[in-house]
Each structure stands twice: as structure tokens, then as C-alpha cells.
């Protein structure tokens, strides 16, 4: 697709979950680059309490205000703000949200209902890929290897130490420690913990303040426990800006410096992780990594964009970890890095994501009118 006429675009950021700070950074980057692409932008924030707020619209050539001053707290309801966006002539919503409420099909379904085109995945792909346990089930059925693991759907306010001990003893017979524990429906490495043995696992389950402890507020969708893999951690993005035409981006190798794995601190602390782009792989392995990313992207119908995280084990086998359909989009995020390596700069990429959203919306309306 080529860049077309200037548009009026609402960029929605923030959200109600633990990934809101990442989303705000993504949103600010999206606003800046869509302005460079020649579009008029309406910044919109969803606050942690669920209220919505709009900032003054920004036109190309205008000085972009400090992002910290965009939203002073003049909040309104989602319906009121959405109505104002429609009435003001917003042509597409750029979804810069992450996590539950923005990345799991909820926001997508809301925009479908009000008739606004939007970027990112459609409702079903967003819902399925946000659920890590469900994603693993689909990958297993496709014959794509994922780490061994099991879900923990505990919703009890404070499970007893005995329950955690029994669970650890039962599951460790089939899947020895160390274990990686992660919230089932969160991204950005929020709430991920590493446990080397049963004692650590049990202590984390009952310790106040632990992410793994249900009272921490991250367990609404349960947790996923997986074996910790050895080898090289890789990620590979794919673009499908035109239906059926999938481009794999250069793979990236992730090397945390001070952390034992790619946790939240390693991901978002400047200098805490070395990200090698493109990954230094044999050309045959590079192609295998890209082929796996394309296969996963196609299986989950992830257009226009996805990023598949994986491990290259010491035996040379690729193991899929997760699929991200709304990954971080700051200048230093993984997709922008690999897109730059492929010669795709952010103003053009974000413009094309908007064009894709408009085309998808037009096709759906054409089908609905039959």
C-alpha cells in the first residue's frame, strides 16, 4: 500500500491494567510519527479507573505538547468520548492499548459496535492470542512445540500454603523445576516470576506483594506455569498490510544482562538488555525462524501485525513462547527495531497500519450490505 490522503486519527492509549505505562509510551510515539506522516491526531486516554479523556487535536506542523500535559483529568464516559470522536469526524482509531481491556478483543468489539475502523487485530485473533493457555492449546494442536506447562486458574482470595505445596509436588513429578510463572492474560512481562524449587514457588504463592500471590490483583484470569527453557531467546515480527501478503521481519536475539530472564525490568530498563538486530544466525536458521513466525501469524489470522517470541534450544529446535498482536511501539521496541532494519520507518509503518484498518472496515461493510 502507498501513503494516501491525510486523515483524522484518534490515538487511544493508557488502559485499566498493569501495562498502561507501556501503552502511554506507545501512544506518544504513535502520535509523533503519525504527525510526521501528515495526519491530524486526536489523543485519547483511558484512565486507570476506566474513564476516558481527550486532549486537544494536533495538526501537522504544530508543536507537539509535552505528553505529560495532554490529559489533566477532565474525564468523561467511554460513550460520551466515543460519540464526540464520531461527531468530530475521526476516520480511524489507532489502538495503542496493551493488556486486558485493550488487547483481548474487548476494545476491538466495542469499536466494531460503534462503527469506527481501528488498527491492530480483529476481535477473535485478539481474544485468542491474549489468552496464553488457549494459545498453547492451539499451537499444540498445530504441532508447533511450546514449553511444557499447566494453567493455574485459582481465584481464591488467599490459597493456603498446603494447596501450593500439593500443587508443586504433584506437577514437579512430570515437569521439574525451575518454573516460569506468568499471568495468563497480561503482556509486557508484567508479573512474571522465576521459581527454582518448590519452596520458592510456595513462598511466592502466599507472600503478600508477590505478583504470583492472588491478592496482588493479577490473577483474575489465572496463571500459566511453564518449564524454563535453555538456549537463545529470539523474536520475529511479521507484517500483513495486504491480506494474504505476509512479510517476516529480521529476527532479534534478546540477551538480558542483569536478569535471569526477560522480565519487566530487563525489558523496560534502558541498557538492561542487549537486543541484537538482526540476530546473528545461520541463514538457514533465520529462514526457519521467519517461517515459524509466518506460520503462527497465519494460524491465528493476526493481520496486520504480529510478533512471535521463541527459543532456539541447544539442540537446534525452535519452541514458540507467545504471540503478540499489539506489541510495544516505542522507538526502541522490538518491532520498530526490526522494521527499521528492513527499511521500514515508523511514520510509514503507522500510516500503513491505519490504511489497513480502513480497508478492513470497508470490506466488512461491503459484506454486511449483501
pLDDT tier for residue 217 given thresholds of 50, 70 and 90: very low
Question: Does one domain contain both 46 and 12?
Answer: yes
pLDDT of residue 192: 82
Asked which of 42-46, 113-117, 206-210, 287-291 is least confident by mean pLDDT, the reply is 206-210
Q: Quick check: 155 pLDDT over 80?
A: no
Question: Does one domain contain both 163 and 236?
Answer: no
Question: Does one domain contain both 169 and 233?
Answer: no
Mean pLDDT of the chain: 87
Q: Quick check: 1 pLDDT over 50?
A: no
Please give the residue range of the domain that contains residue 74: 8-120
Domain boundary among 120, 136, 160: 120
Question: Does one domain contain both 35 and 174?
Answer: no
- Say if 245 falls within a structural domain: yes
Q: What is the pLDDT of residues 105-143, one digit of tens each?
A: 999 999 999 999 999 999 999 999 999 999 999 999 999
Q: Quick check: 266 pLDDT over 50?
A: no
Task: With beta carbons less than 8 A apart as the criterion, state whether 328 and 264 touch.
Answer: no
From the DSSP assignment, how many helices (H) and strands (E) are in the chain?
Answer: 11, 14
The label of the residue with cell 469506527 reads 116
CA nearest 184: which of 149, 144, 227?
A: 149
Q: What does the block give as the cell for 270?
A: 534502558
pLDDT of residue 368: 76
Task: With beta carbons less than 8 A apart as the criterion, state whether 85 and 10 touch.
Answer: yes
pLDDT of residue 352: 96
Indicate the SS3 state at residue 367: helix
Question: Does one domain contain both 235 and 222?
Answer: no
pLDDT of residue 139: 96
pLDDT of residue 55: 94
Q: Which residues, 6+ apart, have CB-to-CB distance to 62 below 8 Å?
A: 35
pLDDT of residue 222: 78
Domain boundary among 201, 227, 253: 227
Domain CATH for 202: 3.30.1490.20
Question: Does one domain contain both 20 and 101?
Answer: yes
- Say if 185 falls within a structural domain: yes
- Say if 30 falls within a structural domain: yes
Question: Does one domain contain both 219 and 308?
Answer: no
Question: Does one domain contain both 16 and 109?
Answer: yes
* Inter-helix orientation angle 106-114/78-87, to 10°: 50
Q: Quick check: 325 pLDDT over 80?
A: yes
Domain CATH for 20: 3.40.50.20
β-strand 8-14 against 92-95: which pairing, if any?
parallel
Q: How far is CA 370 from CA 353, 364, 365, in A?
A: 27, 10, 9
Domain boundary among 200, 227, 254: 227
Asked which of 93-102, 160-169, 209-218 is least confident by mean pLDDT, the reply is 209-218
Q: What is the mean pLDDT of residues 48-65?
A: 92
Cα separation, 53 vs 45, whole angstroms: 5
Higher-pLDDT residue of 18 and 284 is: 284
Question: Does one domain contain both 40 and 25?
Answer: yes
Q: Quick check: 219 pLDDT over 80?
A: no
Q: What is the mean pLDDT of residues 347-364?
A: 95
Q: What is the pLDDT of residues 179-213, one digit of tens each?
A: 998 888 765 456 688 899 999 888 877 665 555 55
Domain CATH for 289: 3.30.470.20
Identify the DSSP state of 67.
Answer: G
If one counts every other C-beta atom within 10 angstroms of the C-beta of residue 333, the result is 21
pLDDT of residue 184: 84
Question: Does one domain contain both 212 and 173?
Answer: yes
- Say if 357 falls within a structural domain: no
- Say if 160 falls within a structural domain: yes
DSSP string, 224-261: EEEEPPPSEEEEEEEEEEETTEEEEPPPEEEEESSSSS
Question: Does one domain contain both 101 and 218?
Answer: no
DSSP string, 303-332: TTEEEEEEEE-TTS-EEEEEEESS---STT
pLDDT of residue 366: 86
- Say if 332 falls within a structural domain: no
Q: How far is CA 8 from CA 11, 62, 223, 304, in A?
A: 10, 15, 40, 20
- Say if 330 falls within a structural domain: no
Kindly state the percentage of the chain with pLDDT values over 90: 66
Number of domains in the chain: 3
Counting Cα atoms < 13 Å in the Cβ hemisphere of 106 gives 14
Question: Does one domain contain both 266 and 179?
Answer: no
- Say if 334 falls within a structural domain: no
Amino acid at each position: 500500500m502507498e501513503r494516501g490522503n491525510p486523515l483524522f486519527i484518534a490515538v487511544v492509549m493508557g488502559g485499566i491494567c498493569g501495562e498502561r505505562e507501556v501503552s502511554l509510551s506507545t501512544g506518544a510515539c504513535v502520535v509523533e510519527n503519525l504527525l510526521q506522516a501528515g495526519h491530524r491526531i486526536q489523543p485519547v486516554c483511558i484512565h486507570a479507573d476506566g474513564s476516558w479523556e481527550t486532549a486537544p487535536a494536533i495538526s501537522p506542523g504544530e508543536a507537539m505538547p509535552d505528553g505529560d500535559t495532554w490529559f489533566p483529568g477532565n474525564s468523561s464516559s467511554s460513550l460520551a468520548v466515543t460519540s464526540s470522536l464520531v461527531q468530530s469526524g475521526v476516520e480511524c482509531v489507532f489502538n495503542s492499548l496493551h493488556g486486558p481491556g485493550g488487547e483481548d478483543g474487548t476494545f476491538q468489539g466495542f469499536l466494531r459496535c460503534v462503527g469506527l475502523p481501528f488498527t491492530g487485530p480483529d476481535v477473535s485473533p485478539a481474544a485468542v492470542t491474549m489468552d496464553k493457555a488457549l494459545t498453547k492449546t492451539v499451537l499444540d494442536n498445530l504441532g508447533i512445540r511450546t514449553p511444557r506447562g499447566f494453567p493455574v486458574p485459582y481465584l481464591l482470595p488467599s490459597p493456603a500454603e498446603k494447596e501450593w505445596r500439593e500443587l508443586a509436588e504433584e506437577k514437579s513429578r512430570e515437569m521439574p523445576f525451575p518454573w516460569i510463572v506468568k499471568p495468563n492474560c497480561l503482556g509486557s512481562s508484567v508479573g512474571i516470576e522465576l521459581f527454582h524449587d518448590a519452596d520458592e514457588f510456595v513462598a511466592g504463592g502466599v507472600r503478600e506483594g508477590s505478583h504470583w500471590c492472588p491478592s496482588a490483583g493479577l490473577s483474575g484470569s489465572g496463571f500459566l506455569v511453564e518449564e524454563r527453557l535453555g538456549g537463545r531467546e529470539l523474536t520475529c515480527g511479521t507484517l500483513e498490510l495486504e491480506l494474504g501478503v505476509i512479510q517476516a521481519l529480521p529476527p532479534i536475539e534478546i540477551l538480558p544482562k542483569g536478569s535471569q530472564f526477560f522480565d519487566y525490568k530487563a525489558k523496560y530498563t534502558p541498557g538492561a538488555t542487549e537486543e541484537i538486530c538482526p540476530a546473528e544466525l545461520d541463514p538457514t536458521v533465520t529462514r526457519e525462524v521467519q517461517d515459524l513466525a509466518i506460520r503462527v501469524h497465519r494460524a491465528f489470522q493476526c493481520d496486520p501485525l504480529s510478533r512471535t517470541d521463541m527459543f532456539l534450544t541447544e539442540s537446534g529446535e525452535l519452541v514458540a513462547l507467545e504471540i503478540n498482536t499489539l506489541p510495544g511501539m516505542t522507538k526502541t521496541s522490538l518491532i520498530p527495531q526490526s522494521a527499521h532494519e528492513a527499511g521500514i520507518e515508523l511514520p510509514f509503518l503507522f500510516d500503513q497500519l491505519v490504511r489497513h484498518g480502513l480497508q478492513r472496515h470497508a470490506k466488512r461493510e461491503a459484506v454486511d450490505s449483501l
